[in-house]
Amino acid sequence: MKRISAICCICLCLCLLSGCGKVIELTEEENYMVAEYAAELLLKYDRNIDLKYYSDNITSTTTETYVTEELTSEELTIQTTEDIVNTTEENSGEDEITQSTSSEVVTPEETPEEDISGSDISSNVRDNSYDIAGFAGVDTVSIKYAYYMLLDQYPSLDHDGVAITIDAPSGYKLLVLKFNMENKTGEDQYVDMFSKELEYSIIVDGNKKAKQMLTILIDDLYTYQGTVDGNMFEEVVLLFQVSDSVAENIQSLKLQITDSNNNDVVIDLE
């Protein structure tokens, strides 16, 4: 209270002495600054006001406003994140089951073969020793057909090295083509077949046609991206899906490969 009295006395003295010297005229802005300063002094020395609470309240309000603006500008992103978290929590039971096993079973969608009876097949037919790498423009390795299998399940690894099993749906078989990818040099060679944008189709008995399955297998020729050691070879595969009735009595198999420019080659496998 003594400090407040002292401030009042000082203000009174200034008023009394204002006539003894030059009159100082303040602008509106300067008057406002003086008033604001005086108000702060009164608040600072008034015991009835908790200054700490007052300062914290100002800071809290300012921060709250800033955060609100930030949330508004990123509302869509935050909402999306919350949706992902909620979905993860809802499916946590399923995730635990998947993580507790060392393999994953993948069942492909049913994609019946296309009937191509009477259709013209490319006249560019080669025998089963044809080098696919040459057609793809890769000269460091050779890729040649080895054999085929008809399976209900195909076990392999995904790109993370996790065991994975692909199941044929009811009424279908997996037609698995095996190829040898051989490094023709003495040095390790990185091979990227996925960037070549090749499409593969199997032609069964000249009248049934199916496109390759899209898988996440580490040895899938369609998506292959890996390194083959010098003077070594790796097995790569293409998977197709054919109905049981077609798989029962296969007489001939042809592999049609088409590039992004619609150029193609047909390899007579059997």
- Output the average pLDDT for the chain: 74
Give the pLDDT score at 253.
96
3-state SS track over the chain: CHHHHHHHHHHHHHHHHCCCCCCCCCCHHHHHHHHHHHHHHHHHCCCCCCHHHHHHHHHHHHHHHHHHHHHHHCHHHHHHHHHHHHHHHHCHHHHHHHHCCCEEEECCCCCCCEECCCCCCCCCEECCCCCHHHHHCCCCEEEEEEEEEEECEEEEEECCCCEEEEECCCCEEEEEEEEEEEECCCCCEEEECHHHCCEEEEEECCCEEEECCCCCECCECCCCEEEECCCCEEEEEEEEEEEHHHHCCCCCEEEEEECCCCCEEEEECC
Give the pLDDT score at 100.
30
Tens digit of each residue's pLDDT (9 = 90 or more) over 162-220 = 999 999 999 999 999 999 999 999 999 999 999 999 999 999 999 899 999 999 899 99
Give the pLDDT score at 235.
96
Domains of the chain: 105-268 (2.60.40)
Confidence of residue 60 (pLDDT cuts 50, 70, 90): very low
Tens digit of each residue's pLDDT (9 = 90 or more) over 18-50 = 554 445 566 766 666 666 655 555 555 444 444
Give the pLDDT score at 93.
47
Give the pLDDT score at 42.
52
